[in-house]
Structure 1
Amino acid sequence: MFALVRPLRKYMHYVERAAAYESLFLRRRALETMKRAVIQPFTDKEIASGLVYLGLLSLKMKNHRQALDYFDQSLDMIMEEPFPYSSNFGKIIKAFIRQGDKERAQYWLNQLLAKQSYDRRFKRLEKYREILRA
């Protein structure tokens, strides 16, 4: 596992190291690795991606409130820029809904659906509108 011994210089090195730890069921170490990544002088998109990874790890560790905060920070950081669709956006919206934070779920859903102007795949999130109306 080269990812565990390679020096951490680039954003992807941190992601690979965290993923290696996670595959070994060392989620705390993966979390610490990504916490170090998001304070490095990487691009906003890389830091936002790292915050999503931190949020997903936090969900797996049953730290739901912290996960929602990471998701909030991530989306807030890059919302003004164009970025590609990811299936993680559905996981983020679901996490807000499951924790009863429908207000933030609705806000971020609207923001993400507006991104359809340049990436039609964001339309896949449309199904969450019905869930939020219920």
Structure 2
Amino acid sequence: MGIFSLFRREIKYEDFVKKANKYDNWFQRNKAIQIMNMAVNQPFTNREISSGFIYLGILYSKIKDYGMASDCYNKAFELVVKENFNYHPNFKKAIETFIKSGDQDRAEYWLDNLLQRQIYDKKYKKLNDFKSKINNV
């Protein structure tokens, strides 16, 4: 171990998010996307990587690339599909994006999956409104 490794700062997931947020706030979304793409390729926990894909989904939705956003949301949920995790309002954005991108199968699959999570978090009931939206598409 060299002397410089003593001063080497570990890069944390939060560091990527802060930097991406800064660019997103400055309306430089492509730069924010680039940073978050680097983040999801780091050796972080599945939850952190999943969170990174959720953020990427949000960023792609902001630039109206719903296909890429849908793919990111799908990857995020796949990473933690077998884990319990609490409801977050961004899950509504994910389901909306699946619908906007015309990805009916993903919308139905993930909506069902998320609604089953009401067993441990009642806030998932907030997604019930999407049942009628999906059935009317």
Establish whether TM, by shorter chain, passes 0.5.
yes
Q: Greater CA radius of gyration, 1 or 2?
A: 2
Aligned pairs (5 A) from 1:6-17: 9-17=11-19
2:103 to 80, 101, 113: 101
The residue aligned with 1:85 is 87
Matched, 1:56 2:58: yes
Aligned pairs (5 A) from 1:1-134: 9-134=11-136
3-state SS, counterpart of residue 62 of structure 1: coil
CA distance in 2, matches of 1:8, 1:68: 31
Q: Using the aligned pairs only, state the percent identity.
A: 39
State the 1:8 CA deviation: 7.0
3-state SS, counterpart of residue 86 of structure 2: coil
4+ aligned runs moved over 3 Å, structure 1? none
3-state SS, counterpart of residue 9 of structure 1: coil
Scaled by the length of structure 1, what TM-score is found?
A: 0.91
Unmatched segments (≥5 aa) in structure 1: 1-6
Letter matched to residue 97 of structure 1: I
RMSD (Å), alpha carbons: 1.2
The aligned length equals 128
CA distance in 1, matches of 2:135, 2:68: 25
Unmatched segments (≥5 aa) in structure 2: 1-8
State the 1:60 CA deviation: 1.1
